Amino acid sequence: MDEKKKVILKLEHISQSYVVNSQVKDAVEDVSLEVYDNEFLVILGPGHCGKTVLMNIIAGLEKPVGGAVYLDGEQVEGSDKRIGMVFQSLALMPWKTVMANVEFGPEVAGVPKEERRKTAQKYIDLVGLKGFEKSYPHELSGGMKQRVGIARAYTNNPEILLMDEPFGQLDAQTRYAMEEEVLRIWEKEKRTIIFVTNNIEEAVYLGDRIVLLSNCPAKVKEIYDLKNLARPRNTTDPEFLRIRTEISDNTDLAL
C-alpha cells in the first residue's frame, strides 16, 4: 500500500464474546487493523466466524468486550453517521416506496424535503433505479433491492460504507452484475468500503486488500495486498487464479 495513504479507520485489539448457556463463547479475538481512506477492503471469512459481529462493532451497534475503534483518530463510541451499513438482511421498509426508503436517513435527521429528495434522487440514478422511485420493495427483484440498500447507505453520505455480504442471497449471474455495479459506483463516488464476503472469487475480484479471517473466533489470519492486480479484473486471468489458489490454500475451511 502506498506509504502516503491516510489511515481513516483503526481497529485496536477488538475482542467480542457472549455468554451462551453459561459458557463464554468467543466471536472475535484480538482483531487489529488499519483501513485506508478510499480503499476497497474485503473481509473474507467462513460462515458464522464473526464477520457480522465485527461489522456491528465498527458500526457502533454493539460494544466490544475489549479494544477500541478509531475514526479519523478519535474513538468511536455508539453509532456514528460517518459510518454507514448495507445490512446482510437488507432491512428495507416494505410499506415505503424506493424513494421513501432511500431518503429515510436524512428525513429522520431533519433534512428539508427538497434537499433530501435531491440527494436521494442522485443515488437512485447512480445505482440504476431511475423510474422506480415509486415502486415498493416487493415489486423489485433481489438485485434491485440490493441497489436500494446501496443507494440508501450512500444517501446518508458516510465516509465509510460497511457492506455485510450484500450479494449472498443473489443468483450467480445477478451477483456478478452487482459486483461490477458496486465497483462502478465506487470508482465514481470514492468512499472507503469494507465489504464482507465468504466467497474467495468475489474477494479477489473486488478488493484492494483482503483481510482473511480464521474460523471462529474471528482472528486476522493474513492480509493480502492486491493493488498490483489491475482493474477491471478478469476471473480467468492467470494472476487472478494464482492469488485465488494461494488464499484458498490458506483458509481454515473450504470457502
Ligand X SMILES: Nc1ncnc2c1ncn2[C@@H]1O[C@H](COP(=O)(O)OP(=O)(O)OP(=O)(O)O)[C@@H](O)[C@H]1O
Give the number of residues in contact with ligand X, rule: CB under 6 A: 14
DSSP letter string over 181-201?
Answer: HHHHHHHHS--EEEEEES-HH
Give the distance, in angstroms, between the CA of residue 186 and the centroid of all CA atoms in the same chain.
12
Residue pointed to by grid coordinates 455480504: 165
Binding track, positions 108-147, relative to ligand X; x by CB under 6 A: ----------------------------------------
Contacting ligand X within 165-224 (CB under 6 A): 165, 198
Selected range binding ligand X among 49-57, 201-209, 220-228, 236-244, rule: CB under 6 A: 49-57
Task: Using CB positions, name the residue nearest to Mg ion.
Answer: 52
Residue recorded with cell 492480509? 223
Q: Any contact of residue 50 with ligand X (CB under 6 A)?
A: yes
**DSSP state letter for 136:** -
Binds ligand X by CB under 6 A, chosen from 47, 108, 130, 230? 47
Asked if 52 touches Mg ion (CB under 5 A), the answer is yes
Where do the DSSP E strands lie in the chain? 7-20, 23-36, 40-44, 66-71, 74-75, 83-86, 160-164, 192-197, 209-213, 220-225
**Least distance to ligand X from the beta carbon of 144, Å?**
22
User: Nearer Cβ to Mg ion, position 89 or 235?
Assistant: 89
Using CB under 5 A as the binding rule, whether residue 56 contacts Mg ion is answered as: no
